[in-house]
Chains A and B, each alone.
Chain A
Amino acid sequence: MRSYLDFEKPVAELEAKADELRGVAESSGSPALAKEIEQLEAKAAAQLKELYGALTPWQKTMVARHPLRPHFVDYLAALIEDFTPLAGDRAFGEDEAIIGGFGRFRGHSVCVLGQEKGSDTETRLKHNFGMAMPEGYRKAARLMELADRFEIPVLSFVDTAGAYPGIGAEERGQAEAIARSTDACLSLGSPNVALVIGEGGSGGAVAIASCNTVLMMEHAIYTVASPEASASILWRDSARAQDAATNMKITAQDLLKFGIIDGIVPEPSGGAHRAPEQAVEAAGSAIEAALAQWAGFSRDEIRAKRAEKFLAIGRKL
């Protein structure tokens, strides 16, 4: 049932043992066994807490890509009421790597954009593994412009290895589509909040994450290029991904220190995939707090503060 990452092996062993004893306990009903199970589980929980309190950047990369980690559709289902998805870029097509639409978040009208990776073969193909085509970014820009006209905040959920590199994507102007979507983020008179829920990969992430408030889940990563791509550029060897992840400062904790992101949403012990509802709820509270922070500013102030925030990045280190 559970899926363990390599570094979780000690926890996996403890939990497997506890499961095994539970099976025996059910048939024998021994109270001594119950106690032992309890101890094993406590030990496993402590191990997990310790492990997750000190994840390396590469371990975080694996957690951020964990197949059972909550994806955008899970955040959408739990946090947004009356959600109405809207399709198409009005020029060429519909791209389901980015889901977008309007709905309500804790009582407020919002525009919601999110990259969805899919969770089984069928949905992964449908959403192209979360790697958007130009149409996805043009749809995002279109919806942001709508949100701006109706003075509605925009929430972006980021989870992508990057924009799709392919012939069609290039023919239809992937670069321009990303640039225009970033431009749309930075033009909004209403506040926007981005949350990196898993992988924030390169320009494909920036396109919807150039926001007033940028948050990251505790074990999410945000990179200039995926660790594999970085390794292939820097070492000409994608197998050096681990080195790239380690050296490139891609964790939420490092990026908060650098002033590149604005906040971190705590994850349950053992990562968001251990208790998805709890993770999504924590994200909801953080987003609500971020939106509240921007209430009361004029549209010009919202734009100016966003621009100043980005211009300030790297100027004081």
Chain B
Amino acid sequence: MDTSPMNWISNVVRPKIRSILRRDTPENLWIKCPDSGQLVFHKDVEANQFVIPGSNYHMRMSAVARLKSMFDEGRYEDIALPEVPLDPLKFRDEKRYVDRLKDARTKTGAQDAVKVGVGEVEATPLTVAVQDFDFMGGSLGMAAGEAVIKGMETAVERRTPFVLFAASGGARMQEGMFSLMQMPRTTVAVQRLRMAKLPYIVVLTNPTTGGVTASYAMLGDIHIAEPGALIGFAGPRVIEQTIREKLPEGFQRADFLRQHGMVDMVVHRHDLKATIARLCRVLTRAEPKVVSQEPAHEEPLPEAAQ
């Protein structure tokens, strides 16, 4: 026993933790909970909607995983998103922006940071847009802005409520002012949703900051936060640099936002579907959910079973 499993874990697993959720990386069998430090088999985490069993830490989800987990039987119509001009500033920092884009596309298999799907959530028709943090930090550029607008327009066309899962570091810096202009642009789309009298529910996931929070993500009719999510305008690093002191524990986290009146509720991922469907049905004066014909479960709750 000279190769202790702990060595293998710290040498191999830990450096890979950031890319743990990519499907085709079979060596990432274990996930270390960022909260409790416990090691969990990745299949168990995936089966648990990317919530660490035990600690209840909510991991980030890819856009596709989120859409699948939201819609009944994981089925939805993928909405085609508008093409946008590529790299309007011909930008480069340490790398060319076009190369960064290419890398992000390869890494995530998506065109950009936002995906839109239409389907049913507990038999309630919904349009859902999801921001994927793994695509360049979920940053809001022209493509993401157009996708959010398209999502809202789709909801208006199909006469469904609109649910948006926000996750973003803020503006796509590489697109400069075109990125900033997504703030008023998406706000126009929110106004149209409002005019159509369709509910707009924002689910703030970890993390949501910057221009996204300062526009469509804080203009919902209802704001739901996932437990522990970091939500704010300025990122903690910027604030610490400005005020030159450490920030208090829990600052800008979901519970903090609720205490300060910025979100309506903090909802566990397992309860999101039911909460959203219930709210949408009440707000649109739809019939309550049809109770299934099967007899109610007699088994104890999973927590009790453990």
Seen from chain A, the residues whose Cβ lies within 8 Å of a Cβ on chain B are 163-167, 169-176, 178-180, 182-183, 185-187, 202-203, 206-207, 210, 222-225, 229-230, 233-235, 243, 247-250, 255, 258, 260, 307, 310-311, 313-314, 317
Q: Collect the chain A residues with CB atoms within 8 Å of residue B211's CB.
A: 202-203, 224
Known: A234-B93, A248-B176. A179 touches B219 (CB 8 A): yes
Known: A186-B188, A314-B84. A224 touches B176 (CB 8 A): yes
Q: Collect the chain A residues with CB atoms within 8 Å of residue B179's CB.
A: 224
Cβ-defined contact, A186 with B184, below 8 A? yes
Q: Please, could you name 18 A-B residue pairs with CB atoms under 8 Å apart, sorted by A?
A: A165-B239, A167-B243, A167-B247, A167-B251, A176-B213, A178-B215, A179-B214, A186-B188, A203-B233, A210-B184, A224-B211, A225-B171, A243-B93, A247-B91, A248-B91, A260-B181, A311-B149, A311-B185
The CA-CA distance from A248 to B77 in the complex, in Å, is 37
Among A164, A185, A311, A314, the one with the most B-chain Cβ atoms within 10 Å of its Cβ is: A314
Known: A175-B218, A183-B187, A229-B238. A169 touches B233 (CB 8 A): yes
Cβ-defined contact, B260 with A206, below 8 A? no
Digitize B161-195: 1 where CB-to-A-CB distance is under 8 Å, 0 elsewhere: 00000000001011111111101110110110000
A-contacting residues, B71-101, CB 8 Å:
84-85, 88-89, 91-94
Select which of B84, B175, B219, B233 is within 8 A of A174 by beta carbon. Answer: B233
Known: A165-B239, A179-B214. A206 touches B180 (CB 8 A): yes
Cβ-defined contact, A311 with B188, below 8 A? yes
For residue B92, give the distance in angstroms from its CB to the closest CB of chain A: 7
Q: Collect the chain A residues with CB atoms within 8 Å of residue B209's CB.
A: 175
Cβ-defined contact, B239 with A166, below 8 A? yes
Cβ-defined contact, B184 with A314, below 8 A? no
Q: Collect the chain B residues with CB atoms within 8 Å of residue A172's CB.
A: 260
Q: Collect the chain A residues with CB atoms within 8 Å of residue B239's CB.
A: 165-167, 170
Cβ-defined contact, B177 with A258, below 8 A? yes
Cβ-defined contact, A176 with B262, below 8 A? yes
Q: Does B232 contact A (CB under 8 A)?
A: yes
Main secondary structure of the interface of A (DSSP, over half): helix
Cβ-defined contact, A313 with B178, below 8 A? yes
Cβ-defined contact, A170 with B180, below 8 A? no
Q: Collect the chain A residues with CB atoms within 8 Å of residue B92's CB.
A: 247
Seen from chain B, the residues whose Cβ lies within 8 Å of a Cβ on chain A are 84-85, 88-89, 91-94, 142, 149, 171, 173-181, 183-185, 187-188, 190-191, 209-211, 213-219, 232-234, 238-239, 242-243, 247-248, 251-252, 260-262
Q: What's the A-B contact tally at a CB cutoff of 8 Å?
A: 159
**Extra pairs beyond A167-B243, A179-B213 (8, CB < 8 Å):** A167-B248, A179-B218, A202-B180, A210-B184, A224-B171, A247-B89, A248-B89, A307-B188
Select which of A170, A176, A233, A314 is within 8 A of B181 by beta carbon. Answer: A314
The 8 closest A-B pairs by CB, nearest first: A165-B234, A175-B213, A175-B233, A174-B233, A210-B184, A178-B214, A176-B218, A234-B93
The CA-CA distance from A64 to B74 in the complex, in Å, is 53
Q: Collect the chain B residues with CB atoms within 8 Å of residue A163's CB.
A: 214, 233-234
The CA-CA distance from A90 to B214 in the complex, in Å, is 21
Nearest A residue to B169 via CB reads: A233
Select which of B84, B191, B238, B252 is within 8 A of A186 by beta carbon. Answer: B191
The CA-CA distance from A166 to B248 in the complex, in Å, is 12
Cβ-defined contact, A203 with B183, below 8 A? yes
Cβ-defined contact, B191 with A187, below 8 A? yes
Cβ-defined contact, B233 with A260, below 8 A? no
The CA-CA distance from A169 to B252 in the complex, in Å, is 11
Q: Collect the chain B residues with CB atoms within 8 Å of residue A250's CB.
A: 176-177
Q: Collect the chain B residues with CB atoms within 8 Å of residue A169's CB.
A: 233-234
Q: Collect the chain A residues with CB atoms within 8 Å of residue B94's CB.
A: 234-235
Nearest A residue to B231 via CB reads: A175
Among B181, B216, B233, the one with the most A-chain Cβ atoms within 10 Å of its Cβ is: B233
Nearest B residue to A238 via CB reads: B241
The CA-CA distance from A1 to B128 in the complex, in Å, is 61
Q: Collect the chain B residues with CB atoms within 8 Å of residue A222's CB.
A: 177
Q: Collect the chain A residues with CB atoms within 8 Å of residue B187's CB.
A: 179, 182-183, 186, 210
Q: Collect the chain A residues with CB atoms within 8 Å of residue B219's CB.
A: 179-180, 183
Cβ-defined contact, B177 with A223, below 8 A? yes
Nearest B residue to A247 via CB reads: B91
Nearest A residue to B174 via CB reads: A234
Select which of B178, B190, B234 is within 8 A of A170 by beta carbon. Answer: B234
Cβ-defined contact, A317 with B88, below 8 A? yes
Cβ-defined contact, A313 with B260, below 8 A? no
Select which of A186, A203, A260, A311 is within 8 A of B178 by beta carbon. Answer: A260
Q: Collect the chain A residues with CB atoms within 8 Å of residue B180's CB.
A: 202-203, 206, 223-224
Nearest B residue to A313 via CB reads: B181
Q: Collect the chain B residues with CB atoms within 8 Å of residue A207's CB.
A: 214
Q: Collect the chain B residues with CB atoms within 8 Å of residue A314's CB.
A: 84-85, 88, 142, 178, 181
The CA-CA distance from A174 to B85 in the complex, in Å, is 31
For residue B142, give the distance in angstroms from its CB to the closest CB of chain A: 5
The CA-CA distance from A182 to B218 in the complex, in Å, is 11
Cβ-defined contact, A249 with B89, below 8 A? yes
Select which of A164, A180, A224, A310 is within 8 A of B184 by beta carbon. Answer: A310
Cβ-defined contact, B242 with A170, below 8 A? no
The CA-CA distance from A258 to B248 in the complex, in Å, is 42
Q: Collect the chain A residues with CB atoms within 8 Å of residue B84's CB.
A: 314
For residue B223, give the distance in angstroms from its CB to the closest CB of chain A: 9
For residue A144, give the distance in angstroms from its CB to the closest CB of chain B: 13
The CA-CA distance from A311 to B152 in the complex, in Å, is 13
Nearest A residue to B179 via CB reads: A224
